[in-house]
Homo-oligomer: A and B are copies of this chain.
Amino acid sequence: MERTLSSEIGAHQGGRVRLCGWLHHQRRLGQVSFLLVRDRAGIAQVVVTDEATRAEADRLVAETVVEVCGVVEASDQAPAGFEIHQPSVSVIAAPADTPPFELRRRKLPAQLPTLLDHAAVALRHPQRRAVAALAAASAHGFRASLDELGFTEVHTPKVVAAATEGGANVFPVDWFGRQAFLAQSPQFYKQTMVGVFERVYEVAPVFRAEPHNTARHLAQYLSMDAEMGFIADHTEVMAVLDRVLAGMLSAIGERARPALELLELELPTVPERIPVVEFRHAQHLIEEATGEPVVGEPDLSPAHERWLGDWARNHHGSDFVYVVGYPMAKRPFYTHPSPADPAASNSFDLLFRGLELVTGGQRLHRYEDYLAALGGAELDPYRGYLEAFRYGMPPHGGFAIGLERWVARLTDAVNVREVALFPRDMQRLVP
A interface list, Cβ under 8 A from B? 3, 20, 22-23, 39-40, 63-65, 92-97, 99, 117-121, 123-124, 129, 132-133, 135-136, 139-140, 143, 147, 150, 152-161, 171-176, 178, 180, 182, 189, 192-193, 195-199, 204-205, 207, 209, 211, 219-220, 222, 230, 365-368, 383-385, 387-395, 403, 421-422, 424, 426, 429-431
Contact: A384 with B119, CB < 8 Å? yes
Within 8 Å by CB of A429, from B124, B133, B178, B204, lies B178
Within 8 Å by CB of A385, from B93, B176, B222, B431, lies B431
Within 8 Å by CB of A368, from B22, B96, B197, lies B96
> CB-CB < 8 A to A139: which residues of B?
153, 155
Contact: A40 with B222, CB < 8 Å? no
A210 to chain B, nearest CB (A): 10
Within 8 Å by CB of A391, from B92, B120, B367, B385, lies B120
How far apart are the CA atoms of A230 and B174 in the complex, in Å?
40
Given contacts A120-B385, A153-B139, A429-B159, A171 and B173 within 8 Å (CB-CB)? yes
- Chain B residue, CB-CB nearest to A210: B176
- Chain B residue, CB-CB nearest to A255: B147
> CB-CB < 8 A to A182: which residues of B?
159, 173
A219 to chain B, nearest CB (A): 8
A367 to chain B, nearest CB (A): 4
> CB-CB < 8 A to A193: which residues of B?
123, 421
How far apart are the CA atoms of A199 and B133 in the complex, in Å?
12
Contact: A155 with B421, CB < 8 Å? yes
A contacts with B: majority SS: mixed
How far apart are the CA atoms of A92 and B176 in the complex, in Å?
43
> CB-CB < 8 A to A39: which residues of B?
198
> CB-CB < 8 A to A161: which residues of B?
429-430
Contact: A158 with B205, CB < 8 Å? yes
A155 to chain B, nearest CB (A): 5
How far apart are the CA atoms of A332 and B364 in the complex, in Å?
49
Within 8 Å by CB of A387, from B3, B429, B431, lies B431
Given contacts A129-B197, A157-B422, A387 and B121 within 8 Å (CB-CB)? yes
Contact: B365 with A93, CB < 8 Å? yes
> CB-CB < 8 A to A95: which residues of B?
367, 390-392
Contact: A136 with B153, CB < 8 Å? yes
Given contacts A120-B192, A174-B172, A394 and B154 within 8 Å (CB-CB)? no
Within 8 Å by CB of A135, from B64, B155, B158, B220, lies B155
